[in-house]
Amino acid sequence: VSALAFLGLPTWENFKPFIVTGLALGGVYAVSGVGMVVLYQTTGVLNLAFGAVGALGAFIAWEMINNTGLPTWVAILTCIGFGGVVTLTYGVIFGPPLAARDPLTKAVATLGLALILLGAMSWIWSDKARSLDLSTSNSGFEVNGLLVNWTQVIAMGFAVGLTIVTVIYLRYTRTGTAMRALADDREITATLGVPVRRVEASAWFVSGCVSGGAGLLLGNLVGLDAATLTFLVISSLAAALIARLNSVVVTLIAGLAVGLVNAMLAPILSVSEYRDMSPFIMATIALLWLSRKDIRVTGVR
């Protein structure tokens, strides 16, 4: 504590509350990152509309909860299902014609979907204060003096659970094996008789459902705001990038680390307002470290 004070930093007591908020937010970054990595490996598409799909799902859930009188669980399922259907529809329509294009073209194409969804949200709901209330945020427990609500627990649990399920699914199921094969070589996999379109469609759908779930959690944890939820995909992207877009376990760890570092910088007033850069700084450092052998071999030109 005295060392922190000597360096002009907040005390450990000041830092403690940020651990919970950071891990919860990091959990959702990890969830989003895992969804993006699985889709990227299976289809070669980096889905930049991931956040926008989740955001629109969250807005639909808000509308259902507040203006239709339907039970919350129906709204939650609708949000998740909406994410799956919209993403699947995009994948089925635009996946095949873009399959042979380079990854950058495929990624930029998803920006079109993000823009359409962002515009739709602004048009339908305008830029007013809204609150996506989940009952899980109204109760919780204390750990060492820190208040933890159930939505935060769900966010972290969802991240860990999704990663474990994804790892098991990819290793032990036929579709998972097909996805891994697609990740290795799409052409050879197709010649071996694997139903490529069907496998890709399942990846689009599952990834979309994950985006719906992430949108719902972020809508509650961060706030129901179209632009914020759409652009939060950037932090998830950093987590996926640290994992070099090919490891769900590293994506989980990176997502939690991104959320934690970002939150822990908040009480350090001298750097607090620059903390939004932290995901990219972490991604840059990680990529330079992971590429150190390549740099040694090729040298710096």
Partner 1 sequence: MHVNPLSGRKRPATALCAICAAVLLSLSACGSSKKDTSSDSGGSAKSSDTSSGGGSSSSSTTASKCGLGNNKPASGTPVKLGAIVTKQPGTDFTDITGGAKAYFDCVNANGGINGRPVSYLVETEQTDPGQIASLAKKLAETEKVVAIVGNISLIECSVDHKYWEAKGYMEIDAGIAPECWSTPNSAPVNMGPRYSSDGAVQTLIRKGVKKIAFIQSNVPGTGYIKAGPEIVAKAAGVPITTLTANVPVQDANSVAIKAVQAAGPGGGVVLNFTPPEALKILQGAQRQGLQNQVKWGCSTPCNTDFLAKALGSAWNGKLFVNAELAVTDDPGPDSTLYRNIISKYAPKIPLGSFSQMGFIQARIVTDALMKVKGPITVKTANDAIAAVKNFKTDILCKPFYYGQAPLHIPNNTDLTTTPKDGKMVKDEDCFAISDAEPDIAKVRDIEKQQGAS
Q: Does 53 bind partner 1 (CB under 8 A)?
A: no
Minimum CB distance to partner 1, residue 7 (Å): 17
Phi, psi of 141 (to 5 degrees): -150, 170
Phi, psi of 143 (to 5 degrees): -125, 115
Q: Does 104 bind partner 1 (CB under 8 A)?
A: yes
**Strand partners of residue 140:** 149
| DSSP state at residue 10 | P
| DSSP state at residue 275 | G
Cα distance between residue 113 and residue 60, in whole Å? 17
- In 3D space, the residue among 208, 177, 224 whose CA is nearest the CA of residue 62 turns out to be 224
Minimum CB distance to partner 1, residue 42 (Å): 8
Cα distance between residue 266 and residue 236, in whole Å? 19
Cα distance between residue 35 and residue 50, in whole Å? 9
Q: Does 239 bind partner 1 (CB under 8 A)?
A: no
**Cα separation values, 74 from 13, 65, 68, Å:** 40, 9, 11
Contact region with partner 1 (CB under 8 A), list: 53-61, 71-79, 118-126, 193-201: 118-126
Which of 98, 247, 253, 261 touches partner 1 by CB under 8 A?
247
Minimum CB distance to partner 1, residue 6 (Å): 19
Q: Does 78 bind partner 1 (CB under 8 A)?
A: no
Binding mask 157-196 for partner 1 (x = CB under 8 A): ----------x--xx-------xx--xxx-----------
Closer residue to partner 1, CB minimum distance, 77 or 147? 147
The sign of the dihedral angle between the CA atoms of 81, 98, 255, 251 is positive
Cα distance between residue 55 and residue 72, in whole Å? 17
Closer residue to partner 1, CB minimum distance, 162 or 232? 232
Q: Does 131 bind partner 1 (CB under 8 A)?
A: yes
- In 3D space, the residue among 29, 13, 46 whose CA is nearest the CA of residue 259 turns out to be 29
Closer residue to partner 1, CB minimum distance, 60 or 85? 60
Closer residue to partner 1, CB minimum distance, 18 or 85? 18
Q: Does 116 bind partner 1 (CB under 8 A)?
A: no
Contact region with partner 1 (CB under 8 A), list: 53-61, 79-87, 146-154, 207-215: 146-154
Cα distance between residue 31 and residue 11, in whole Å? 31
Q: Does 4 bind partner 1 (CB under 8 A)?
A: no
Query: Token match 């992207």: residue?
Result: 237
Binding mask 12-41 for partner 1 (x = CB under 8 A): --x--xx--xx-xx-----------xx-xx
Which of 99, 222, 253, 261 touches partner 1 by CB under 8 A?
222
